Amino acid sequence: MPPAVLQTRLNNGLTVHLKEIHTAPLISHWVWYRVGSRDELPGKTGISHWVEHMQFKGTPAYQASVLDRAISREGGAWNAFTFLDWTAYYETLPADKIDLGLRLEADRMVNSLFDPREVESERSVILSEREGSENEPLFRLGEAVQRAAFASHPYRNEIVGELEDLRAMSRDDLYAHYRRYYIPANALISVAGDFEIPAMLARLEELYSPLAGGERVARDLPLEPPPAGEQRLEVVGPGKTTYLQVAYRAPRAADPDFFAFSVLDSLLTGPSSLNMFGGGGVSNKTSRLYRLLVEKELAVSISGGLQATIDPFVYDTIATVHPKSSVEKILAACDGEIQRLQDAPVPEAEIARAIKQARALFAYGSENITNQAFWLGYADMFDSYAWFTDYLARLAQVTPQDVQRAAQVYLAPERRVVGVYVPSGEEAPEYEEAE
C-alpha cells in the first residue's frame, strides 16, 4: 500500500504536503520559499543566498549560539540550500523530537533578527566564499559560460552573487528581501516520516495559522529569446589543466521534452541526479561520450548536467582535456557523436539501458525519508508533486524517435556556448577562509 500523502493549503496561503512513512522512527521537515537567484535584480545578485545565511543567525527565541547544539543534542541534522528557483531549509530528527524543527522554522519565518553586526560578519564569510570559488577553474569557466548563455534572464548570474553587489548590499536590503519572500503565501512545508497526518496538520496549523499570509510574489519573467548562434569564449587562469565546457539551451522541467532529454543525457554522459540533496551509485562508463573520449584518452573525464528548472536552463557537458589531446579533437568527436544521434534513431536496447540507468539514479535519490520529504516539496518548485510521482512512467514512454528529435532540436550548434579554460601554469593565490 503506498504511503499516505496529503496536499493542502492553510487559510493564510501556506502550502502543506505531508507523507506518512512508518519504516523508521524519523521525520524530515522542509520549508521551501519560492525565491532564488532567478528573482534577483541587477545590483542585488546573491541576496537570496545571503538571506539564507542570515536565517542561521538567530531570533529572540532561538539564539544563533544554541541552534546547532539543540539540533545535535536531539540526534538530528539540519541545513539549507539556495538554488536558481528556490530556497529551502530542513531538519531531520527522531520522530519524537521533530517539534523542535517545527517551532524553529515557524519562528524564523517571521522573527529573524538580521543583527547589523551579524550582517557584516556574514558579508566577510560570503565574500571569502566567492573569492575562494574564483580560484577554481571550473567555477571561472562555468560563470563565463552561464553569463554568455543568457543575455537578460537572471539565470545568467551565479547564485553566490557578484563581488561588487556583495560589497554594496546593506542590512536593510537583506531584511526587505526576507520580509518580501519569507511569508506563508510564498512558502511550502513538506514533511515525511513517522507521524499521523491529522496530528501533524493540526500542529502546523497551530504554529503557522497566526502568521499573516501576505500574497504569493508574482514570478512571471520574460523568456530568454532563442540563442542567435553559437558563442565561443576562453577563460585564462591559474593551474595546469585545460577544460572544455559546452552548454546547450535545455527544456524547462515542465516541458514534455524534458523526459526525452533526460534519456538523451543518460545516453551521452550518464544520467544526471535531479535530486540536489543526494543520490548516486550509477556509473557513466557505458555512456557514449565516456567510451568515445575517456577510453580513447581524448579526455581524462566527461560529465553532463541537467537541471529541473522553471524556465529553460542549460545542459552542460564538461570535459577535462587529456594532456595528449586537445579541445579541438574533443569537440570534433562530440559533434560527430551528436550528429549520429540526430541522423538515426538509437537502437531500442541502448534506449532501454539509458532509461534503466536514469530510473536507477532517480530511485537512489528518492529512497530515504529525508529524500522523500525533499521531493515532496522540490517538485512543486518547478511544476507539481505529480511531476515526481509520474516521472518513471513518463521516462518509460520515451521512444528512440523522441530521443532523435530531442537531439535535433536541442543539440544544434546554434543553441550552444563553447567555453575553454586555458591554464596559465601558475598556481592559484592562497586565500584565508573567513570564519
Over residues 357-398, the pLDDT tens digits come to 888 888 877 888 999 999 999 999 999 999 999 999 999 999
Question: Are residues 141 and 85 part of one domain?
Answer: yes
C-alpha to C-alpha distance for 340 and 257, rounded to whole angstroms = 20
Give the mean pLDDT of 231-237. Answer: 97
Is 435 inside any structural domain?
A: no
Q: How confident is the model at residue 435 (pLDDT cuts 50, 70, 90)?
A: very low
Write the burial class of residue 155 (CB in 10 Å: 0-12 exposed, 13-18 middle, 19+ buried).
buried
Is 215 inside any structural domain?
A: no
Q: How confident is the model at residue 430 (pLDDT cuts 50, 70, 90)?
A: low
Q: Tell me which residue of 226, 381, 248 sits closest to 313, measured CA to CA.
A: 248
Is 217 inside any structural domain?
A: no
Question: Are residues 238 and 151 part of one domain?
Answer: no
Is 252 inside any structural domain?
A: yes
Question: Are residues 237 and 197 part of one domain?
Answer: no
Are β-strands 5-9 and 15-20 bridged in parallel, bridged antiparallel, or unpaired?
antiparallel
Question: Are residues 183 and 130 part of one domain?
Answer: yes
Q: How confident is the model at residue 276 (pLDDT cuts 50, 70, 90)?
A: low
Domain boundaries, position 306: 231-423
Question: Are residues 372 and 242 part of one domain?
Answer: yes
CATH of the domain at 148: 3.30.830.10
Residue 207 pLDDT exceeds 50 = yes
Is 216 inside any structural domain?
A: no
C-alpha to C-alpha distance for 224 and 227, rounded to whole angstroms = 8
Burial 19-54 (b: 16+ CB within 10 A, else e): bbbeeeebbbbbbbbbbbbbbbeeebbbbbbbbbbb
Contacts of range 402-406, beta carbons closer than 8 Å, 24 or more positions apart: 402/259, 402/260, 402/263, 403/260, 403/263, 403/264, 403/267, 403/341, 403/345, 403/346, 403/351, 404/341, 404/342, 404/344, 404/345, 404/346, 405/260, 406/257, 406/260, 406/261, 406/263, 406/264
C-alpha to C-alpha distance for 378 and 85, rounded to whole angstroms = 10
User: What's the confidence (pLDDT) of residue 397?
Assistant: 96
Is 434 inside any structural domain?
A: no
Question: Are residues 237 and 363 part of one domain?
Answer: yes
Is 433 inside any structural domain?
A: no
Question: Are residues 316 and 204 part of one domain?
Answer: no
Number of structural domains found in the chain:
2
pLDDT tens for each residue of 165-181? 999 999 999 999 999 99
Q: Which three cell numbers stand for residue 55?
A: 536565517
Question: Are residues 256 and 203 part of one domain?
Answer: no
Question: Are residues 386 and 262 part of one domain?
Answer: yes
Is 220 inside any structural domain?
A: no
Q: Which three cell numbers stand for residue 235?
A: 577563460
SS3 at position 297: coil
As a residue count, the chain comes to 435
Q: What is the mean pLDDT of the chain?
A: 94
Question: Are residues 175 and 59 part of one domain?
Answer: yes
Question: Are residues 203 and 236 part of one domain?
Answer: no
pLDDT tens for each residue of 119-166? 999 999 999 999 999 999 999 999 999 999 999 999 999 999 999 999
Question: Are residues 182 and 269 part of one domain?
Answer: no
Residue 69 pLDDT exceeds 90 = no
Q: Among 173, 208, 243, where does a domain finish? A: 208
